[in-house]
Structure formats: structure tokens, C-alpha cells
Structure 1
């Protein structure tokens, strides 16, 4: 365990380790995350075919490609956020107001420095864009503006990562989702309005990105001022020792994020360079579906980091172990449902959503989604490594896996006979080996547990995923759903069967007790004037 100061006497406004752990706050956070999930899912399911229909497949391919390239700047932003969150959470949970102010001032200085350093490479990349990537003829200027808009979003994200630490530590995900929802609404609304007024262009998509960056940042700053009025954006007050401490953790977190982004976003670059913009557009369109599975995980995932950090701050190792083990088990069960439905019903889903030409990408979709049941369920292990300041091994393993993935993906694309499916399959293989063989065992070792501690709880979810996927394939073969209502009915029938089996066979007595308590809480909020029995 890393050296840290002894707990200070709690000051007014300090964040306690058990703040946000009540049924009320948990219920509000879950409801807020669900509302954001529904909003983002609905908008994106409409937004992707809307852009493809107006821009064309080749031009649309530049949109996910721009997001993919700019995502590499998240190596910096997410790494800084990891360091800010860890040390600020410890300071606030211990009630050490002076240390919290020093940490935030030092984080402010590092954020401004990162923004300044990233401006040069992104400016140069935008100018040289047509020489670096395969851009459709005649779209060079519009694509440059699109990448500039994505870069603005990235720079805004650096500042947002600084200010959003307050809402995460205080467990106020309702306010955090307010900023995310406003940003997404601005992004889609600006593009939809421009497409209605003028001929559709990538210029409009870039403008939407810039508008969303400005609005999201403004809301995050307002939330930060509301939740932590004792903190101030004062880079001139940075503490040298605190800056060095943050930089050390940021460095190893950057290595981890670099490898993570290789695993997550190198696929579009490889496909663009090997197969061209048409294949990039087709592959990029279906990437929304695995993104939705990630979004399902985000309904619960962000709440786990602050809870792990709060237990670490008070030395509750057993509490960290129980929390992560239960989270991995329940996440695997929860994620098996959307992943299994997508893999089983993927062919009619692609046909109805994007058209018959995309039905042939069903195997690619299975490779993109199938492994997420296990890999996303193991993400809480990373919170252990962050809390105990063990990110160096995590970073080295992840960047090695990222390099291995790129080699495998290029080999599969150039010399294999699998096409884009080989690129997706290489990612699934390397990512799964990273999480199941190395990082889960290392996280268990940090806590002094068996290497299989966080793998065993995933068995139920993995078995249910396979069963649900096969059931979906059989259902489609027996009675192909040719309309959205028919597809929805098939998915509903499979979901009901999945829910019944999971409830009766895989949930523990304590799981059912917690579920009943949560239902009672929601019913009590709907009808506070009467007692609710459940």
C-alpha cells in the first residue's frame, strides 16, 4: 500500500467514506444513469443512420475515424483524471481541506499545461490530414474542420476531467449526467438543425462537436462550484511536491491508457489504411452497438470507483474485496443479457437498422460484442489498482497487449482471409487474455487473495451469455423477425426467460434481499404517504 497521510479531523463540507452509500443516493444515481442511458441510446440509434443517410457511407466514415484518432488524446486526459481522482478523493474523505486545495491547484496547473502541449500535434495533424489518412476526394477541407471540432472536444474533456472529480467523489452522478446530457443534446441538435437548413456536410458535424464541448464544460464548471465551493481554479498556487506526485501517477496511467486505446480504437485506423474509407464507414457504423453495451455497464460502473476509494481511505480491505467480487459477478450477469441478445439477434438487427447490405457484418458484430460480458465485468479490478497505487504493472501489461493487438490486426487484415472480422477478432482475443490471465490475478494479489478470486464469479454470466446467444440464433432460424415489433417480441421473450433463470438459479439470497429493498425504496418514493410492503 502506498504511503499516505493519517486521517485528519473531519472539517465542514468534507466527504465522508459512507456518503452516497444510502439507499436514497444509490437510487438517485441509478435512476440518473438509466435516464442518461435511455437518452444516449435513443439519440445514437437515430443519429448514426441519420448521418449515414445524409452524408453517405464514405463521408460518414470520417466521423468515427475522427473520434478514434482524437481518442488517443484521452491517454492524457484520463490519466490526469485518474491521478486527480485518487488523491483528491483521499483528501476529501479524510476531511483534509488544505491538502484538497493544494491537490486541486496542482491539478489545475497540469491541466493547463496538457492543453497547451496537445495543441501543437493536433494542429499539425489537422493540416497534414489528407497526406496521413485516406480521405474521400473533395472532402479534405470539411474533414479538417471535423477533426478540429473533435480536437476541441478533447481539449474541453481535459478541463471537464478536472472539474468532474467533485461530482464523482460526492456521488452526485445526477448532476454529472446533467452535463453529459446537455453536451449530447447540443451535439445532435446542432447537426440536425444544420442538415435541415443546408445541404449535409462534415462541416456541420464539426460545429456540433464544438458546441457540445462548450456546453458540457460550462455545466461541469457550475456543478463543481456548487459541490466544492472551498476549491478554486488557482494554478499559480500549485504545490511542487503535489505536482510531482500527480505526475508520477499520471505517467503510468498514461502508459495504461495508451495500451487501452490501442485495443479499443486502432481497428478503424487499420481498416482505413488497409481496406479504404468505404469499409471504414461500414465498420464504424456498427461500432455503435458494442458502444451501447459499454453504456449499459456505465449505468453502474462509475459509482464503484468512489466506493472502492472510500473503503481504501479508511483501510477497509475486506470491504474492497467484497465490493469488487460482488460487482464482477452481478455485472457479468447483467451484461450477458444485452450481449447475448445482440449476438443471437444480430443479423435481423443489422438488416432492420442499417439495411440488408450490413447483414453480412453479423460475425464482426459477434466478435465485437461477445467478449464484453467478461471484460467489462472485470473493470472494477482496475479500481483496486488505482486505489492502492499499483498502476505501473497495469500500464506495462496493457501497452504490451496493445502492441500485440496491432501486430495481429495488421497481419489478419493484410495476409489473413478474414477481412475486417480478423481485426475485430484480434481485439477480442488480446483484450480477454489481458483481463482474465494477468490483471485480475494481479488485482487479487494486491489484496492478498487467490489469483482466481475475481474470475470464479464470472462463470454464471458467461454460461448465461452462451445460452442466450444460441437461443437467439435458434429463434431467428425458426421464425425470422422481419419487422421491428417482431424483433422486439423475440427479444422480450428471450429476456423474460433469461430473467427467470437468473433469479432462480444464479442470484444469492442477499442479492434478492437487496433487489427487494431497492424496489421498496422506489415504491416509497412514488407513494411516500403510505407504507409499502414487498
Structure 2
């Protein structure tokens, strides 16, 4: 299948999978808040963040395995690919066994580590138990799922994600309908889904990559050493990401208590959804990046990266710009009874850096593709330490309260996304330092278009409730997409897209 057609299919499938997942979480959040309170809800993203801390030491192998296996299979080196595959499988299994005891101790002593209301203690402990169970299942069998990326069939992975989210939704509805609501219902369903995806991954691994077979005799310490020499920088990046974004709810819980931590968890919910959307859109491009690099086609790789930057800015800035303008109306409809003015103000500070991230996140994948991870890892760990230190000092010596987190994060993210990422990305591909700034500017311009259109509509419409809010959002999106079309894409790309649309319409 032509790469462009495969790219479109991958993007569509990923977007559909994300929509299903988003829909479930979107409707689940206000239900949990209304039945259990924002204080209880705050533990759900906090659980995910703490699981992310455990993932730091697993990233070194899992984040890099797909790249190594893809390159070797593309080059026809099946024996080397199997060595990578089996070495990671055994190493992950050993690592999971080593982490089980510390995880159990953390669960048993959790009330000595973070602020947990007495009436929620058992519920929170069970929530962490099922979350860690999911983590271990995903860790042990992570490498099996690389088959989708090796063969550039991300669409199949997206289909399985859709199915798993439907299963998750059915189980959640049954649990919350037939039983007294509990937080751990969220993570027990995730554990069930992890088992389902494991079975699917085994099936597709045999179908898509029959060259890869489980044979632990092919384990090699030299292979692990080779991968760790590269992957360790991804672990450092993961630590940096934790210091940049993963400690905020934990610090809020420690310094401000479970109540304010829960409020900030609500604020972060939408930006987290948007970050997931960024990952979803970008994941459709990454397999092509690896394949083009393996073929040594630098010209097409640059085109693919540039196109991904423009697509990201064109599509992902739509929800960002709309929520910056209509955030108060959104929170009023989504979580009525909460302090929507505060939520809106905090939301703006968390959404603004995402505009820059949409314009640069594709560039960060170049680091892995070109295997140049050390410099960005060192830079990111420095920025992460500055971010965490700034949070700690401001929490300790000022009365800014919850505003500490978004303010410090905003400054740090602007430095990373607009000063370091585009310059180092150009260096990795041996390009001029300012190569990517035009694409970034176009991405930011798309956000300005969305905000401008939304402000215009706000003078005309004052949405009250979901129907008018969705209608306003739909109209703003359509107009923004039309105007941004001329900003995001060059003339030749616009002509090709219009020609494709015309041909599709004529066939119908």
C-alpha cells in the first residue's frame, strides 16, 4: 500500500480510537466527581502519574525496541531482529518480578506517603493494586506489540484500542450501575483490557511478524547493553517528563491537600486529553519516520516531519483555541457546582504551552529515529530539575498556592519547545538551525485563527448547556479549519488535497 494512503488510514484509525477513549473518560469524569467528589477523582490521575514514575526504569528498553526491530526487519536481518525481540522480552519479565515487592509495600504504606482521607484508604489502595497489575502485564509483554509499528499497521493497533475501550465502557457501566461507586472500578477495568490487548498482540505478532518467534535462547547481554546505551537516554527523558509534568499533582497533594489536588486534577484532564490526541496523531507518522531513515531517504524524511508538524498545528490547535475562549462555559456544563472561574483561569495557563507543543512534538521523534538522545536527555533533565525546584521553592516560600504549578510549567515549556527542540532537531538531520521555525510559526498561527474565530462567536453566542456549546464548537471548528487551511499548507499541498476531495465527491 502506498505510504501516503497507509498514513491516512493510520491517522483515521488512531483518531477514531482516541475519540472512543476520550468519550468514555469525558462522561466518566463528571459522574465520579458528582458521586465521589473532586477530592476522590484527584486520585485517578495521581495513580497514573505514580505509575509513570515506575515506568521511568522500563522506558530504556521498551521505548527503543520498536526502532531496532523495525530497522533490522526492514534490512532483512531477521536473526538480529529476533535477538532484540527475545532479549527485551526476558529483560522486561525479570524487571517486572523485581518491581513487584516495592509496589506492594507502597500500596500497604500509601497513607504514610501521600494524603489519603481515611474513608478512601481501602478504595485508593485497591486502585493502586489494579493499576500496578496493569503496569506489570503491559511491561512483560510490551515488545510483542511492536509488530504494528514494524509493519506500519498502526491502524490495526487502533482498531484493537477501539474494541478494548468499548469493553472497558461496558464493564464500567455495569460496575457503577450495579454497585456502590468506587475509584478502583476505573483501574480494574483497565487491568481487564490489558489482558485482552495482550491476547490480541500475540495474534497479530504471529500474523504480521512471523519472523519474530519467542526463543529465549536468543537472549543476549550484548544486545541489552547496546539497547540500553541508547535507551537510557529515553529513561532520562522520562524522568525529565516526570519532573516537568508528573510531579504536579503529587506536590499539590503534599503541600495543599487532597481537595485542591482534586481541583487541579480536573483542570489537567482536558490538557491531558489533548496531549493524548497529540500522541495519537503523531503515532501515525512515527513508523514512516523509522522506515525512511532505515532506507537512508533523508529528503523524504524531512518532508514527512514537516508535513506532520503542519497537520498537528492544523488539527490539534482546534480544541486548544476553543477551550481558551469557552473554558468557563465548558466547565459549567461538564462539572457543575465546581469553582468554574478558577478552573477556567488555571486551564488557560495549562493550555497555552500546548500550542507550542503541537508545533514541535514531531521534531522530538527525530531524536529517537537518528539515535541522538544524549544531548536532549541532558537538557531535559536540567529543565525538569529547574521545574521541580521552582515548584518546591514557590510552594514553600510564597502564598501563590495552586498557581505555582501552571506558572512555572508555562515558562519552562516555552524555553524547551521554542528554543531547544527546533534547533536540535535540525542539527540531528544536518539542516540549518532555523529550518523548522516556519512550520512552528504556521502551527501557532493556526491557534491564533481558532482563538480569533472563537472570540468572534462569543460576541454573538452565549452558549448555555451542552447543545449550544457543541453547536458553537462545531461552527468555530469548521470556520477555523477553512481559514487555517491556507496557513498550514503550501499551495501545491492545498491543490492536491482539494483534488483528492473532488475525486471522492465525484465517485459518490
Aligned runs of 1:356-505 on 2, under 5 Å?
356-360=337-341, 361-473=343-455, 475-476=457-458, 479-505=461-487
- CA shift, 1:331, in A, is 1.5
- CA shift, 1:362, in A, is 0.6
Structure 2 runs not aligned, ≥5 long: none
C-alpha distance in structure 2 between counterparts of 1:234 and 1:389, whole Å: 27
Q: Does 1:213 align with 2:194?
A: yes
| Structure 1 residues 116 and 20: CA distance shift in structure 2, 3 A | farther
Aligned runs of 1:88-107 on 2, under 5 Å?
88-107=69-88
For residues 323-382 of structure 1, the C-alpha deviation after alignment (integer angstroms, 9 at most, x for no partner) is 212222331232222210111111100111111424121111111112112213312212
C-alpha distance in structure 2 between counterparts of 1:188 and 1:403, whole Å: 38
Aligned residues: 507
C-alpha distance in structure 2 between counterparts of 1:43 and 1:119, whole Å: 30
- Within the candidate set 144, 153, 161, 2:125 is matched to 144
Is residue 107–residue 246 contact of structure 1 (8 Å, CA) maintained in 2? no
Is residue 360–residue 417 contact of structure 2 (8 Å, CA) maintained in 1? yes
Instruction: Look up the match of 1:11.
Output: none
Instruction: Look up the match of 1:6.
Output: none
For residues 18-42 of structure 1, the C-alpha deviation after alignment (integer angstroms, 9 at most, x for no partner) is x66152x233222211221221121
Q: Does 1:253 align with 2:234?
A: yes
Aligned runs of 1:323-342 on 2, under 5 Å?
323-342=304-323
Is residue 159–residue 217 contact of structure 1 (8 Å, CA) maintained in 2? no
Is residue 297–residue 335 contact of structure 1 (8 Å, CA) maintained in 2? yes
| Structure 1 residues 481 and 418: CA distance shift in structure 2, 3 A | farther
Instruction: Look up the match of 1:201.
Output: 182
- SS of the aligned residue for 1:432 comes to helix
C-alpha distance in structure 2 between counterparts of 1:440 and 1:448, whole Å: 12
- CA shift, 1:474, in A, is 5.5
For residues 275-330 of structure 1, the C-alpha deviation after alignment (integer angstroms, 9 at most, x for no partner) is 11111222212322112222332342112211111111111222222221222233
Which segment is superposed worse, 215-224 or 187-196? 187-196
C-alpha distance in structure 2 between counterparts of 1:146 and 1:296, whole Å: 25
| Structure 1 residues 158 and 479: CA distance shift in structure 2, 3 A | same
C-alpha distance in structure 2 between counterparts of 1:124 and 1:271, whole Å: 23
- Within the candidate set 314, 329, 345, 2:295 is matched to 314
Aligned runs of 1:156-171 on 2, under 5 Å?
156-171=137-152
Instruction: Look up the match of 1:67.
Output: 48
Structure 1 runs not aligned, ≥5 long: 1-18, 524-530
Is residue 60–residue 228 contact of structure 2 (8 Å, CA) maintained in 1? no
Is residue 348–residue 487 contact of structure 1 (8 Å, CA) maintained in 2? yes
Let me know the Cα RMSD of the aligned residues: 2.2
C-alpha distance in structure 2 between counterparts of 1:224 and 1:517, whole Å: 37
Q: Does 1:532 align with 2:507?
A: yes
Normalized against structure 2, the TM-score is what? Answer: 0.93
- CA shift, 1:443, in A, is 1.6
Instruction: Look up the match of 2:498.
Output: 516
Instruction: Look up the match of 2:25.
Output: 44
Q: Does 1:191 align with 2:172?
A: yes
Looking at secondary structure, tell me which structure has more helix per residue.
Answer: 2
- SS of the aligned residue for 2:211 comes to coil
C-alpha distance in structure 1 between counterparts of 2:7 and 2:124, whole Å: 43
| Structure 1 residues 270 and 478: CA distance shift in structure 2, 3 A | farther
Which segment is superposed worse, 103-112 or 317-326? 317-326
- CA shift, 1:188, in A, is 3.6
Is residue 309–residue 387 contact of structure 1 (8 Å, CA) maintained in 2? yes
- CA shift, 1:147, in A, is 0.6
- SS of the aligned residue for 1:139 comes to helix
- SS of the aligned residue for 1:371 comes to helix
- Within the candidate set 83, 87, 100, 1:119 is matched to 100
- CA shift, 1:272, in A, is 0.7
| Structure 1 residues 444 and 505: CA distance shift in structure 2, 3 A | closer
Normalized against structure 1, the TM-score is what? Answer: 0.89
C-alpha distance in structure 2 between counterparts of 1:329 and 1:264, whole Å: 25
Is residue 169–residue 306 contact of structure 1 (8 Å, CA) maintained in 2? yes
Which segment is superposed worse, 270-279 or 484-493? 484-493
C-alpha distance in structure 2 between counterparts of 1:156 and 1:511, whole Å: 43
Q: Does 1:175 align with 2:160?
A: no
C-alpha distance in structure 1 between counterparts of 2:354 and 2:3, whole Å: 28
For residues 427-466 of structure 1, the C-alpha deviation after alignment (integer angstroms, 9 at most, x for no partner) is 2221221122123211211222122212221112213323
C-alpha distance in structure 1 between counterparts of 2:472 and 2:66, whole Å: 43
Is residue 44–residue 288 contact of structure 1 (8 Å, CA) maintained in 2? no
For residues 46-75 of structure 1, the C-alpha deviation after alignment (integer angstroms, 9 at most, x for no partner) is 111122222222222221111111112232
C-alpha distance in structure 1 between counterparts of 2:488 and 2:38, whole Å: 44
